[in-house]
Chains A and B, each alone.
Chain A
Amino acid sequence: MTVPGGPASAGGPAVRCRSLGVSFGAVRALHGVSLDLAPGRIHALVGQNGAGKTTLAKVLGGLQAPDAGDVHIAGRKLPSGDVRAARAAGLAMVHQHFSLPPSFTVAEALELTAARPGGRSVYRRAELHQRWQDDVAEIGGEAVLSTRIRDLPVETRQSLEIMRALATEARVLVLDEPTALLAPAAIDALFERLRRLRDGGVTVLVVLHKLREVAAVADTVSVLRDGELALGPIEMSEVSQGRLSDAIVGPASQADRAVGVEAATGTERRTLLELVRVSSRESAFEPGLRDVDLRVEAGEIVGIAGVEGNGQRSLVSVIAGLDVAAEGTVLIGGADATRAPPAGRRLRGLRLVPFDRNSEGISRRAPLWLNQSALRLVERRRRRLPLISLRQYKQQAAMEMDQWRVRYDAVTQPAESLSGGNVQRLILSRELAPGLEVLVAAQPTRGLDFAATDFVRRSLRGLRDAGAGVLLVSSDLDELFENSDRLHVMYGGRIVARFEAPYDRRAVGDAMTGARR
């Protein structure tokens, strides 16, 4: 259980991978990856969705035994697929997916995943809390220790994941897309922290998608493409942005083309979605809506900015019909839909990209084609026989997924076998299909690689140009600035500020933090 102390032996890499290979059935997630990470630096790992980044991270962390090759840490070979050995060797991980059991209290989760040497294995609650009280200071202090993981807001959960990885005094820290769920300020704080760790001699490997973030934090960068190391590790100073994106996308690959979604109507100004003085009840970790007025017209993208947890979720839920507006009116396509069930709203052309793709967007254990076809199940169709053809469903699903370049093997595989970004593509392929009048997109590019991100944004703009209305809820200000025709800021369940392009980053930021009303 001792952590190898002192700086790594001079000259030798902190982490050395030699010709790693991992296959899942016919998919080669990793192939011949050899990679040396110099000690005491921040290494970024980038690549498209499904390129194998998570798989590589898992191999390092001992969660996935490679089919070929091996991993050395500080010159010593790790037994393959052994989490404890990796941790004993001083490697800690922050996973792309949450890795703490929801019903555990924070203290219990820490004790489970980050137990330090010493401490009795049978404990009293008070004792346990004492053990961990210093660590949680920055995420809410002692009070948070007895909170259950499932009751924590997403960001806090993410911070906790990072915190518990650091708690073990790791010499090598691997973070898989740690920024995906964080607000800009939190990202800055995280990077600051990583730099401090680096300065303290810790070697960091961080999986990122946004090149801006890579530039901000990384010392070196490596690129995975189709399971192979396409570039790096190379000093940031030696690589241009263009070369990096070429390496990610690959020379032969063309940019995704936007999908031509035909919006149902022409471009005449028509209010597609309207909320009039809507209030709703608050939920566990979000304020309810308070007197929200909102209008989305045909041919425009309305952005919703705000620090997460300021009512964005309530807003989307009320529009989707999952929450009932306590007061006020919701109009969809000009007709009152305040009391309409979710299905009714879908029929009027409302499309949704939910916040949490894994729990709300897909059914992880259902086959891909069924996930893709979900929306077609609530459509009302006039037919003599209510019988359908599965083959037709599968074919159509395959077609639409191919159009969105979802990477999959067979339409019958369960959705959980897709990489994170591909799940998002699957959702988009379902929601951005004909019949769309107004789209509510919550964090539509979260977790997407940059090419896909660009693709999604262009698709949203394409939708707008074709006459649809889009409500874009995002925590990425650049995304909002680039795409929104109008921008609202939510704070504490209210819309506290409304902006028109061109935007003043400073003013928007002030509104988000409540500094401006």
Chain B
Amino acid sequence: MEQILATTLRSAAPLVLVATAGVFAFRAGIFHLGLEGLMITGAFTTVAVGEATGSVELGILAAIGVCMALSAVYWWVIGPLGANVIIAGLGLTSVGLGGTAFALGAIFDRRGSMFTDVVLPRPVSGTTSGPGVIVSEHSILVWITPLIVLAAWIVLRRSRFGLRMTAAGEYPFAARTAGVNPSIVRLQALLIAGGLCALGGAELSVGALHNFTENMTNGRGFIAFVAVIFGAWHPIGAAFAGLFFGFADAIGIQSQINITERVPREFVLMIPFVLTIFAVWLGGLWRRRSLEAEAGYAELREPDY
């Protein structure tokens, strides 16, 4: 049980960080499918700069910088240049996945993966039994993640800045009448999201592991995206959704090991997906999304033709 919880926390941390990023983007009205690309970029940059400078802090700072720069490009493309949010987002993901793998070869002359000694500290380590296991072997980022979620909640739900951001996403006209430039607010949201994705990627490469591997995010950006919707665009909701997916992962791992008489594996693997559908359906029954929210959402997703 302790192990399941520990695994849950570790698997969830990068998801929660990236889902929080997604919440910022969503609140500002951007259906952000580039999370995965930013995440892998963060993972790579941390390792690359960490290796080059020998400092994990510098690595993370650089990752945040690079991801913010990429986010700014994304904003420029979907905002001033008017590109389709979804396609450009998927493009950003490919750019991240391809670009990091390419850079690994071009800069370090490596293929596939790269190790580093420069890793995040682990406040508690070496506990092997008892409840202590739950908190053992987590990088400092896992510990900080709840604080980040809390901060995100305050910023989004309890500050004027958050009000402006939500208004810009939900009803740009309202934002404009309040003297807010929705486009700038979106840029701000994307920059914050970029920074958070960088942290999510860094947790993966130098928090949980000490290497960068091509494609190592392995769809986590998309799962985080799902968590955002699952969590109804709320920072706390998305964090719990991220935890849920982390938990599903942990259960998946444990069930592989503990269920001996096997149902076909594929059916076990389907469980989290089926559960998600079920949960989303149930959640929808409890609280029908408002027409307006829906309309805003539809507008987001609705391309011109």
Are any A and B Cβ atoms less than 8 Å apart in their complex? Answer: yes
Stretch at the interface among A97-105, A382-390, A487-495: A97-105
Q: Does B45 contact A (CB under 8 A)?
A: no
Note all chain A residues with C-beta closer than 8 A to B158: 122-125
Q: Is the CB of B171 within 8 A of A101?
A: yes
Mask of B140-180 contacts with A, CB within 8 angstroms, 1/0 = 00000000000000100011110110110011011111110
Q: Is the CB of A83 within 8 A of B163?
A: no
Note all chain B residues with C-beta closer than 8 A to A150: 290-292
- Whole-angstrom distance between the alpha carbons of A102 and B171 in the complex? 8
Please judge, given known A-B contacts A84-B179, A112-B167, whether A101 and B159 are in contact too, CB under 8 Å: no
Residue of B nearest to A149 (CB): B292
Q: Does A241 contact B (CB under 8 A)?
A: no
Q: Does A177 contact B (CB under 8 A)?
A: no
Note all chain B residues with C-beta closer than 8 A to A99: 173-174, 177-178
Residue of A nearest to B233 (CB): A103
Mask of B272-305 contacts with A, CB within 8 angstroms, 1/0 = 0000000000000000001111000001001000
Please judge, given known A-B contacts A102-B293, A103-B290, whether A112 and B164 are in contact too, CB under 8 Å: yes
Q: Does A365 contact B (CB under 8 A)?
A: yes
- Whole-angstrom distance between the alpha carbons of A103 and B154 in the complex? 17
Q: Is the CB of B292 within 8 A of A103?
A: yes
Note all chain A residues with C-beta closer than 8 A to B291: 150
Mask of A9-46 contacts with B, CB within 8 angstroms, 1/0 = 00000000000000000000000000000000000000
Please judge, given known A-B contacts A103-B166, A150-B291, whether A121 and B174 are in contact too, CB under 8 Å: no
Mask of A250-262 contacts with B, CB within 8 angstroms, 1/0 = 0000000000000
Interface SS of B by simple majority: helix
Within 8 Å by CB of B178, from A103, A112, A148, lies A112
Q: Does A93 contact B (CB under 8 A)?
A: yes
- Whole-angstrom distance between the alpha carbons of A249 and B302 in the complex? 39
Tell me, rounded to whole Å, the shortest Cβ–Cβ distance linking B49 to chain A.
33
Within 8 Å by CB of A93, from B177, B292, B293, lies B177
Q: Does A70 contact B (CB under 8 A)?
A: no
Q: Is the CB of A101 within 8 A of B177?
A: no
- Whole-angstrom distance between the alpha carbons of A89 and B175 in the complex? 19
A98-134 at interface with B (beta carbon < 8 Å): 99-104, 108, 111-113, 115, 121-125
Residue of A nearest to B304 (CB): A365
Please judge, given known A-B contacts A102-B293, A108-B163, A121-B159, whether A83 and B174 are in contact too, CB under 8 Å: no
Within 8 Å by CB of A122, from B159, B174, B176, lies B159
Q: Is the CB of A102 within 8 A of B160?
A: no
Note all chain A residues with C-beta closer than 8 A to B164: 112
Mask of A351-366 contacts with B, CB within 8 angstroms, 1/0 = 0000000000000010
Q: Is the CB of B293 within 8 A of A97?
A: no
Tell me, rounded to whole Å, the shortest Cβ–Cβ distance linking B171 to chain A.
4
Q: Does A346 contact B (CB under 8 A)?
A: no
Note all chain B residues with C-beta closer than 8 A to A103: 166, 170, 290, 292-293
- Whole-angstrom distance between the alpha carbons of A148 and B287 in the complex? 14
| A residues neighboring B (CB under 8 Å) | 61-63, 82-84, 87, 93, 95, 97, 99-104, 108, 111-113, 115, 121-125, 148, 150, 365
**Top 4 closest pairs, chain A to chain B, by CB:** A102-B292, A83-B179, A84-B179, A99-B177
- Give me 20 other A-B pairs in contact (C-beta within 8 A), A111-B160, A112-B164 excluded: A61-B177, A83-B176, A93-B177, A99-B177, A101-B167, A101-B174, A102-B290, A102-B293, A103-B170, A103-B292, A108-B163, A112-B174, A112-B178, A113-B177, A115-B160, A121-B160, A122-B160, A124-B158, A150-B290, A150-B291
